[in-house]
Amino acid sequence: MRFPRIAAASALLLTATACGGGGTGDDGTADPSDAPSTLTVWIMGTSQEPLVEYMDDVEQRYQETYPETTVDVEFIPWPDAQESINNAMAGGDAPDILEVGNDQVANWAAQGALLDIGTQVESWPDAADMDQAALEYGTYDGAQYGVPWFAGVRTLYYRADWLRDVGAEPPTTWEELVDVAKAIEEEKDVPGFAAPTDFTNGIASFVWSNGGEIAVQEGGQWEGRLTDPATQEAIEFYAGLTTEEQISPQTYVGENELVPLADMANGKVGMYIDGGWALTSMEEQAEDPAVLEEIAAAPMPGADGMAPAFAGGSALTVFTTTEHPDFAFELLKVMGDKEGGRGYADAAGFFPAYPEMLDDEAYQSDPATAAAAEQMTETKFFPPTPKWNAADQDGKILPGAVLEIVRGGDPDEVLAQANEELTDILNEPVE
């Protein structure tokens, strides 16, 4: 397998040098006699040795059926993804297989970047064993454009030694969260919990755990639900962790989870919410590595038990300009079947898209991954609409509302305005 120089900009993207046409054999799979010489895969992120080895294994498995096909891989840094895909759609170098964030499938499908692979997915046995909610998240306007590749969730990180000192277990409810946080602050003289306001994923878990929703689709139209009683109660509770309960300091107002991450690594906060990927950053930022040995993880506490988490991850898609859709989907199957999906999840430090695998000893033997594996059994997804990123990443509607409430805004007025804005954006025409 050839790994070209990692591109810093889309101008350096790899050209797919595929040749020949596509076709299917009598069994419905692509006919090896028509296989192209090359298929190109775009993977988001930076090249790392475990990922390179994974793709080498993928190529070897693919070549068991299509021995004349080389798999070329290009790692695209996440900040360059949008420009790279836009350039590919405009006629530039393009992949056959494209990884996209699972919350981006609807966006790129609406823009015509992805092929409808619904027929192929329906006849693929492994798809029936995937997380069906995650598989559904790969649809747009009734068509299947992506399949889940891997996922990760956020959990509650806490200082295990401090909880032992105050005689507490990891909190499982909102009430316990407040009580444990106050006990930590009294005993250790540091904030017990971090509730950053610029944290949609964390706030959403509080909303979902209380039976609320951010938005729902009714009759083909999206309706914001930020003013529904269950949703509003959860938002006010989250804001109140700073203003009323005062277990989260003003330091985190207007910030995302990166600030408490550094504090957690250096013994300056008792608990906070983040993903498994945060551990590497903690190792880099910890002034005293011994602190890291006392950091443990547990599922996120909800109103009355474990809160649902957004199952962030990636989907595998077939790019719209591929000249070999049948062969591209065969490659997608190798990357995303039970062997390939598990292989990539392990190489990248996430979880596979197959719920049956979560009980595996490999995930249960490590307390941190065991907590995340348990959290993976309670997941939710954001509205599957191309306009979600405009509402969240661009408009910051939900975290912006929390910020206003923390700063003294009237919750009824703030959420009414935010709900109107959310509804308007989600229903904007797709260009």
- The CATH number assigned to the domain holding 178 equals 3.40.190.10
Are residues 392 and 341 located together in one domain of the fold? no
SS3 341: helix
pLDDT one digit per residue (tens) for the chain, 431 residues: 433 322 322 222 222 323 333 444 444 567 888 999 999 999 999 999 999 999 999 999 999 999 999 999 999 999 999 999 999 999 999 999 999 999 999 999 999 999 999 999 999 999 999 999 999 999 999 999 999 999 999 999 999 999 999 999 999 999 999 999 999 999 999 999 999 999 999 999 999 999 999 999 999 899 999 999 999 999 999 999 999 999 999 999 999 999 999 999 999 999 999 998 899 899 999 999 999 999 999 999 999 999 999 999 999 999 999 999 999 999 999 999 999 999 999 999 899 999 999 999 999 988 889 999 999 999 999 999 999 999 999 999 999 999 999 999 999 999 999 999 999 999 999 87
State which residues form the domain around 164. 154-309+387-426
Whether 97 contacts 149, CB under 8 Å: no
Q: Is residue 380 part of a domain?
A: no
Residue 416 belongs to some domain of the structure: yes
Statement to judge: residues 285 and 205 lie in one domain: yes
Please tell me the predicted confidence (pLDDT) of residue 28.
55
For residue 5, being part of any structural domain is answered with: no
Q: b/e map of 135-173 (b: 16 or more CB within 10 Å)?
A: bebbbbeeebbbbbbbbbbbbbbbbbebbeebebebbbb
Cα–chain center distance at 178: 27
Q: What is the pLDDT of residue 20?
A: 34
Within-domain flag for 4: no
Classify 380 as helix, strand or coil. strand
How would you label 233-248 residue by residue, b for 16+ Cβ within 10 Å and e otherwise? Answer: bbbbbbbbbbbebbbb
Burial of 34-43, coded b for 16+ CB within 10 Å and e otherwise, reads: bbbebbbbbb
Are residues 135 and 127 in contact, defined by beta-carbon separation less than 8 angstroms? Answer: yes
Q: Which residues of 396-421 are buried (b: 16+ CB within 10 A; e: fewer)?
A: bbbbbbbbbbbeebebeebbbbbbeb
Assigned domain for 431 exists:
no
Q: Do 71 and 52 have their domain in common?
A: yes
- Count how many domains the chain has: 2
335 lies in the same domain as 260 = no
Residues 214 and 363 in one domain: no
Distance of alpha carbon 341 from alpha carbon 271, whole angstroms: 32
**What pLDDT, on the 0 to 100 scale, is given for residue 13?**
28
Shared-domain flag, residues 121 and 236: no
Whether residue 255 sits in one domain with residue 302: yes
Q: Is the same domain home to 232 and 144?
A: no
Tell me if 70 is assigned to some domain. Answer: yes
Q: Is the pTM of this model over 0.85?
A: yes
In a domain, 242, yes or no: yes
Contact predicate 135/381, CB 8 Å: no
Residues 269 and 415 occupy one common structural domain: yes
Q: For position 16, what pLDDT does the model report?
A: 31
Residues 420 and 294 in one domain: yes
Determine the 3-state secondary structure of 94 from DSSP.
Answer: coil
253 in the same domain as 214: yes
Residues 391 and 331 reside in one and the same domain: no
398 domain residue, yes or no? yes
- Six token digits for residue 267: 């013994």
Residue 368's pLDDT is what?
A: 83
